[in-house]
Amino acid sequence: MRLDIITVHPPLLESPFSHSILKRAIDKGLVEVNVINLRDYAHNKHRSVDDYAYGGGAGMVMMIEPIAVCIDELKSQRSYDEIIYMSPDGELFDQSLANQLSLKKNLILLCGHYKGVDERVREHFITREISIGNYVLSGGELAAAVVADAVIRLLPGVLGDETSALSDSFQDNFIAPPVYTRPADFKGWKIPDILLSGHEANIAQWRYDQSLARTKVRRPELLKKH
């Protein structure tokens, strides 16, 4: 997979891809992540990529020209499955969408900033808009990092245990069951006996029951999708 992230603040995306699972995925050649500085496509001496909004109002708007030049250059080199704009009014990101995107080959993530992008960018370049929640961030960089993390960890070979991602919360619209590790008894706080039984079928049923019960209490809206 190739992931091109367009931003006006590249340093904000340095840390997420420099550590842990994402770094290992990049080092192993399982994904290529390119953070692209939009200012490199600004055709003015100040390298500015924003301007005042027509009609007035507070805040600056990201201009169409540098974004268009950047995306056109990228598209001249390869085809993209999706050109995604990180926006608070996009479709809500969830595990199902992460699964879908993990099957793609080439993706562009455009990080918004200021008061957003010129609407013509959304009309003529963007194929999908994604939000990570019903709130507003200072820019789309953190949201892009969230999407990238959720998608990349699903790629074959990224996780040490290929089945690990399949048992994550939300894969089946359930919250994950409780998990335990050693010691089995800590200050008198013992783990459930079933987990020590060695009976795989009974353990699987216990985990399912726990997931269902937790989902009913903590995230009942997920059951409507099940």
**Class assignment of domain 169-225?**
mainly alpha
Residues contacting 25, CB < 8 A, separation 6+: 31, 152, 153, 155, 157, 158
Alpha-carbon distance of 117 to 67, in angstroms, equals 9
- 2-152 under CATH 3.20.20.140, yes or no: no
Spatial CA neighbour of 39 closest among 47, 31, 50:
47
Which residues partner with 118 through β-bridges?
A: none
Spell out the per-residue pLDDT of the chain, length 226, in tens: 999 999 999 999 999 999 999 999 999 999 999 999 999 999 888 899 999 999 998 899 999 999 999 999 999 999 999 999 999 999 999 999 999 999 999 999 999 998 999 999 999 999 999 999 999 999 999 999 999 999 999 999 999 765 555 555 566 778 999 999 999 999 999 999 999 999 999 999 999 999 999 999 999 998 986 5
H-type alpha helices, the chain: 20-27, 64-77, 95-101, 119-124, 141-152, 200-218
DSSP letter for 176, please. Answer: P
Burial tier of 206 (Cβ tally within 10 Å: 0-12, 13-18, 19+) = middle
Domain residue extents for the chain: 2-152, 169-225
